[in-house]
Amino acid sequence: MLAPRCTGLRFRFGLSMALGLIATQNVSLAESKTDVEDLGGGERRVTLTQSVEPSFHIEPIVHRFEARRGTTIPFRFEIKSTGKAMNVTVMPVQLRQEVTGIILHDDLAAAPDELRFTTPTEFELAPGESTYLEGEVTVPLALSNYLSFGVLVRDNGYVAEKKADPNDPTRISAGVRFVTQYVLRIDIETGVKDVSQMNRLQFEHGSVRNNLGMPVAQTFLVNPTDFAFECNVRGTIESATTSRPKPFQMMLPSRVNLQGEERYLVRVMPQSRVQVSAPVDELLFPGDQTLRLEVTNGRRGLVNQEFNVNVGQGDYPALEVRQAYLDHELSVQPAQIEVGDIAGASRSGNLRFTNNSVRPKNVVAELVDLDGNVINDVTLSSDNFDVRPGRTKTIRIAVSSSSDAEKTKYGDIRLRVKDDESGESVQSIPLAMSFGDAPKTDVTVGELAKVEKNGFTSFGLIVTNNGTGFVPVHADLQVADGSGRTMDLADGFGRWLRPGETRELAFVPQSTLTAGQYQIALSLKTTPDEVPVERTLVIDLDPQISESATE
């Protein structure tokens, strides 16, 4: 449900507005502030900023019952005025669902016949007065495990009007009519075992997208029936050689902030289409993959669909900071590892190798410093081993018991991977051996650059490590347009920058930025003891005029 607020309302000359709030708390106008901006050419813009406060409460917002079909259930809601006299209308309403999963009332559909009120549906409440909304609902004979009925409670509102000032005829005034309302729900678990109608649910447009560097499985669940359902949606991502895919539970955007199993409950209303998604934590190997989706009711699997997805190396850079590709079929986790004796570092850790092929892989490991010399301060439990097809292999890495190191060292775990078909390849993952004090961080951050290619705008940032040790780099970029809408972008994701290395961070919007003025806020972080680099820019995007950027 929407949070009760009303801020930043904008008006042109003589414009008024009716505001309808669907909220967990009704609201009333508390105070206002007016700002006038001269736009030139005799035109001015008025910004009315209204703050609001609760005016009445209803408890509960949602009634939840368990009842058999044909049963009549009594219900009662308590309504209490907290700040003003109210003129209240109550009515049963059909419900509709947005793609996010939020349930609202449907102004166009006929009211449900199953719901009746036994108390007045129109009445007045004095400040501080309370009363009860009472009625009953008859559970219809529907082949559904879940039913939901709506109750609309509306305070018919008042007009906060500003009259013209006779001493200043040019003064701008605006009137706002506040109509506030609650949408209450009566949810019923029917216990129906025959949910054959749920088999008509369909998945639409299954995909795996990039969200701030991480893969997110996403699809739309379509309910073409006249029944509501509660279910779960489970997914896996598989390839021809995947033997044990890791399943994940998908959720509605409206439930992502819930805790526990509740967040995975998918409630889909009649004739609705909702988005469900889930973060994917396992490494996705390059090539063709299959996204398998399933609707479940308890332990029963009902609807199954498959979607083809193609994964490219570098598609999910944040995931590749956790897990590294050694070739297109073998990975190792983590992709960069630290061991040592200082606070915050562990004396040992694990390297987990995953073989996504049908052939065994032989791995020969060697520890070397940045000059290529063999490292003796850290040891591996095995430096020559096989990883079986479709399986994993864990190797332990630890600080050597004979190490007498006094300062932090840096190097690589050099990995030679061989199989009978692909031959040999060599890859390395960075290794930090933390002893004593780490060298001072010395990072140069260039200017944020706007990159135009084929009419598409993105942003780039050059970062250089001038120090002698590895430095983690992460940058967030927020792009805000003139109306206040924001877009969050990121790159770096904590990947270590090697000594002397220069890297360009790329911030690529998922949609085209239209012409207009934008505010760009950059925050770049390195080591915890270094102050983040903060920059704010204002840029104009317009292909017809020269582009500018001011700090």
Q: What is the pLDDT of residues 178-227, one digit of tens each?
A: 667 889 999 998 887 777 888 999 999 999 999 999 999 999 999 999 88
The three-point CA angle 155-161-164 to 5° equals: 170
* Confidence check: pLDDT of 116 > 80: yes
* Confidence check: pLDDT of 536 > 50: yes
Residue 65 — very low, low, confident or very high, per pLDDT cuts 50/70/90?
very high
Token pair 């061991």 is at which residue?
339
State how far the alpha carbon of 305 is from the alpha carbons of 141, 220, 248, 296, 320, in Å: 29, 12, 15, 12, 28
DSSP 40-62: ETTEEEEEEEEEEEE-EEEE-SE
Q: What is the pLDDT at residue 120?
A: 94
User: What is the pLDDT averaged over residues 377-401?
Assistant: 91
- Whats the size of the chain, residue-wise? 551
Over residues 144-169, the pLDDT tens digits come to 888 999 999 988 766 555 566 667 66
Report the alpha-carbon distance of residue 240 to residue 294 in Å, rounded.
19
Token pair 């102004």 is at which residue?
107
Over residues 390-433, the pLDDT tens digits come to 889 999 999 887 777 778 889 999 999 998 887 889 999 999 99
The pairing of beta strand 361-369 with beta strand 348-355: unpaired
Are 201 and 271 contacting, i.e. CB atoms less than 8 angstroms apart?
Answer: no
Sign of CA dihedral 104, 107, 109, 110: positive
Q: What is the pLDDT at residue 64?
A: 92
- Rounded to the nearest integer, the mean pLDDT of the chain is 83
Reply yes or no: is the peptide bond before residue 334 cis, omega within 30 of 0. Answer: yes
Give CB contacts under 8 A, 24+ apart, made by 365-370. Answer: 365/395, 365/413, 365/414, 365/415, 365/416, 366/413, 366/414, 366/416, 367/411, 367/412, 367/413, 367/414, 367/431, 368/411, 368/412, 368/414, 369/409, 369/410, 369/411, 370/410, 370/411, 370/412, 370/498, 370/499
Report the alpha-carbon distance of residue 3 to residue 547 in Å, rounded.
38
Report the alpha-carbon distance of residue 136 to residue 186 in Å, rounded.
10
* Confidence check: pLDDT of 325 > 50: yes
Number of H helices, E strands in the chain: 1, 41
